[in-house]
Amino acid sequence: MIAGMLERSIKACERAAIIWARNGASASEVTSPTSRLRLARSPRARSLTWYPSAAAASRTRASVAGAMLAPGVKARETADRDTPASSATAWALTKRPWLLSLLSDTRSTPLDFPHSAFIIVLHSIATINDDTMKTYRCWEKTKMTHWKIGTAALLGAALSVGSAALLAATPLFAQETVKLELWSRQDPSGPLRPGNVVKAAERLNKELEAEGSPKRVEVAVRESPAKGFDDDALQLLKVFGIGEGPDIFIAAHEWICAFQEDGFVLKLDDYIAKYPQHFGTIFPSLWSSAKCPDGTYAIPQDAEARMFFYNKKLLREAGYDAAFVDAMPERALSGDLAMDEVLEIAKKVVDKTKAQYGVLHRPNKGPDYIMVFQAYGSDFADPETGKLLLERDKLAAAFGWFERGVKEKVIPANNTAMEFDALRKEFYTGNAAFWMYGIWDLGSVAFPTYGLPQDEKAFFADWGWITGPAPQKGGKPVSLTHPIVYAIAADTKEPELAVRLLGHASAADLNTDHAVTTTHLGIKPEQLEDPRYAKAWPLARATELLKITKFLPNNSQFGDLNGIIFAGIQGIESGRLSAQQAADFVIEEASSTLEDVIVK
């Protein structure tokens, strides 16, 4: 049995290594079109010269205090040891040669801790055999991300390789303490993702006490220094591969099936049905982001909305009356406003006003422009198998929209060569009619940087947004969201408690705490009744888009595929490819570089 587990661990680590190598050593989203590049492989790709290697997650989030354990150093296995920290550290070093090699890495940087909230613990393993060392060699071969150091004042220089913050949310003298370890990347725009789990432990413990249960829960937050969610998921796959995974983890939804394929994540359908008081009112559309072909493996933690922002002043200046301009959001939602009409409106603005641009989009790889492909029918995943799915006609139709935009001089030919902040400036200062992006941009950039009105009525007097229009009149509109999810390890010893813990973490009030402080959408309709949520009117107004939202496919290769799609957009906007050639390029390159791609 142990040999089988080790064999699976080695294979899983090697599998993560393949993805890691494909994605490149760095996988964070960039904020300018300058990014880490790799040479294209196919002849058509080489004609485009370069395209970006896979980048990671699309957003930066906030962190909860804590630090990373060294690989294999696990809080819950040492918390009960009656051993001074120094001896536990020395024991771990003598039993783990690879830990000594990590200690010699001078590139780690110190991490400060709040003084009173944490207990620092370290895990040790009594024996190391050849298979264990294979997993370690796999780590080294794939250039494992270096682990954050803990504070020297707490455990001395020997502990500089890592530490864990054990956040106690339980009475000191609980009869039976259940320690649940939570993996979360250091995330400056979402500190309450792990923080709400810690708060939830307090609620769960009160519930357990009322039930007469002797159990009490403690949550240990184990933080990853990964720059993005892709990088973090690859790191975590390797941690699971050597048998050192956490009980609970936070991830971008598109990675959940990678964990499911290797048997690392718990199937949740029965638990979700068992606890309707926790999960019954989560927006039904959001559950699609948590599913693999055979069931549900995660719990949505938040959501966003992507849309086309537009400048009403420019549209009126171009000759559109107020009734037309103000009716655009409802027309888009009903399917009456189509994608090509957006180009027509944008062209009229460029022709009849001083505005230089009609439609702007992000200059680098990311989710937003995928909304256009989804409008034209591409979901990129086979619903039966979860494999990547490419449909040539639908790809060509979506690329055709970008091609028409460039030919009409509505989308700039150099859009993908512009700086992200420069694009924002062009739109928010009145030099572009439309900006394809997400709701969070209002709170993070539009209001504080460019002075757009924060009052709802004043904002909608001169600005607005529409959902992604239908491809033709009478069709279905789209929006795109990118949920972050909670998931539970398949081998956790307390799955029921872990589910209940995440149920409390998903409470409407706690989720609203996260939503209003980070400009994310809530996961439950009852949050709309919260005065704090109502006051954050961009969230309340954008929540209606969750009824029609779509998601990135839950496939770990989609990041690579998205890079190829973005290269196709670059080819079209620079005039090197037609829409049909771009579709052919995507299929040719994806088929030659990715695994199990279905082409229709």
Pick from 100-114, 131-145, 235-249, 503-517: least confident = 100-114
User: Does residue 168 carry a pLDDT above 70?
Assistant: no
**For 103-113, what is the mean pLDDT?**
34
Rounded Cα distance between 209 and 218, Å, is 14
Q: Which ranges in 429-522 belong to alpha helices (H)?
A: 440-441, 447-450, 456-462, 495-505, 508-518
Share of the chain above pLDDT 70, in %: 71
Model confidence pLDDT, tens digit, residues 399-453: 999 999 999 999 999 999 999 999 999 999 999 999 999 999 999 999 999 999 9
Q: Tell me: pLDDT of 109 over 70.
A: no
- Return d(Cα 427, Cα 437) in angstroms, integer: 11
pLDDT in tens, 359-389: 999 999 999 999 999 999 999 999 999 999 9
Instruction: Tell me what pLDDT residue 189 has.
Output: 76
Name the residue among 168, 181, 150, 188 with its Cα closest to residue 66: 150
Determine the pLDDT at residue 582: 98
pLDDT score of 105 more than 80: no
The span from the CA of 518 to the CA of 500, in Å, is 25
Are 411 and 350 contacting, i.e. CB atoms less than 8 angstroms apart? no
Q: Which residues 6+ apart lie within 8 Å of 108 measured at CB?
A: 146, 147, 148, 149, 160, 161
pLDDT of amino acid 175: 82
| Tokens coding 516 | 């209003």
The domain segmentation of the chain, as residue ranges, is 306-480+557-599
Question: What's the CA gap between 233 and 252, in Å, rounded?
Answer: 8
Query: In this structure, are strands 598-599 and 389-390 parallel, antiparallel, or unpaired?
Result: parallel
**Structure-block tokens of residue 99:** 């830990």
**Token pair recorded at residue 506:** 């998903």
> In whole angstroms, what is the distance from residue 16 CA to residue 10 CA?
10
Summarised one tens digit per residue, pLDDT across range 522-558 is 999 999 999 999 999 999 999 999 999 999 999 999 9
Tokens of 358: 């009609």
More confident residue, 309 or 95: 309
CB 169 within 8 A of CB 198: yes
Question: Which band of pLDDT confidence, cut at 50, 70 and 90, is reported for residue 187?
Answer: confident
State what percent of residues in the chain have pLDDT above 90: 69
Q: Which two tokens stand for residue 124?
A: 């040790």
Q: Is the pTM of this model over 0.85?
A: no
The band of 82, judged by pLDDT with boundaries at 50, 70 and 90, is very low
Q: Is 319 helix (H, G, I), strand (E, B) or coil?
A: coil
Angstrom CA distances, 371 to 160, 392, 396, 552, stand at 44, 17, 15, 9
> Residue by residue, what is the 3-state secondary structure of 86-153?
HHHHHHHHHHCHHHHHHHCCCCCCCCCCCCCCCCCCCCCCCCCCHHHHHHHHHHHHCCCCCCCCCCHH
Largest CA distance in the chain: 78
CATH number of 306-480+557-599: 3.40.190.10
Distance CA 563, CA 22 (A): 12
Q: Is the predicted pLDDT of residue 481 greater than 50, yes or no? A: yes
Residue at token pair 């993702």: 193
* Calpha distance 479→542 (Å, rounded): 10
117 pLDDT more than 50? no
Identify the CA nearest to 420 among candidates 449, 463, 455: 449
**pLDDT confidence of residue 42:** 47
Residue of 159 and 201 predicted with greater confidence: 201
Structure tokens at 549: 């939202």
Q: What is the mean pLDDT of residues 251-276?
A: 97
Judge whether residue 327 has pLDDT over 80. Answer: yes
Cα angle at 451 between 446 and 457, to 5 degrees?
A: 85
In the Cβ-directed half-sphere of 209, how many Cα atoms lie within 13 Å?
12
Give me the pLDDT at residue 163, please: 38
Calpha distance 594→600 (Å, rounded): 16
Q: Note the Cα 486 to chain centre separation in Å.
A: 11
Give CA separation, 577 vs 339, 400, 440, 572, in Å: 21, 11, 33, 5
Q: Would the CA dihedral through 574, 576, 578, 583 be positive or negative?
A: negative
| Ordered alpha helix ranges (H), 295-439 | 312-317, 322-334, 339-352, 370-375, 392-407, 420-428
- For 273-315, the pLDDT digits (tens) are 999 999 999 999 999 999 999 999 999 999 999 999 999 999 9
Q: How far apart are CA 465 and CA 442, in angstroms?
A: 11
The CA distances from residue 488 to 134, 241, 263, 285, in Å, are: 26, 15, 11, 21
Res 291: pLDDT: 96
Residue with the larger pLDDT of the pair 545 and 65: 545
Tokens describing residue 234: 């690859």
Query: CA-based angle 234:41:580, to the nearest 5?
Result: 105
Look at residue 351 and tell me whether its pLDDT is greater than 70.
yes
**Average confidence score pLDDT of the chain:** 79
Rounded Cα distance, 81 and 246, in Å: 19
- CA separation for the pair 290, 461 (Å, rounded): 38
Tell me which H or E stretch contains 309: strand 306-311
Torsion angle of C-alpha atoms 471, 472, 475, 476, degrees rounded to 10? 30
Of 153 and 478, more confident = 478
- Residue 26 to residue 36: CA distance in whole angstroms: 8
Is the Cα torsion angle 343, 344, 347, 352 positive or negative in sign?
negative
Return the CA Rg of the chain. 25
Beta carbons within 8 Å of 60's beta carbon, 6+ residues apart = 29, 187, 188, 189
**SS3 state of residue 389:** strand
What tokens were used for 77? 């296995």
Q: Which residue has the tokens 């591409």?
A: 378
**CA-to-CA distance for 597 and 93, rounded, in angstroms?**
45
pLDDT for res 12: 56
Distance CA 101, CA 95 (A): 12
> Confidence class of residue 353 from pLDDT cuts 50, 70 and 90?
very high
Confidence of residue 7 (pLDDT cuts 50, 70, 90): low
Question: Residue 521 has what DSSP assignment?
Answer: B
Q: Range with the lowest mean pLDDT among 102-111, 337-346, 357-366?
A: 102-111
147 pLDDT tier (thresholds 50, 70, 90): very low
Say how far apart CA 251 and CA 230 lie, in whole Å.
9
CA 350 to chain CA mean position, Å: 35
Give the residue from 211, 50, 195, 181 showing the smallest Cα distance to 121.
181
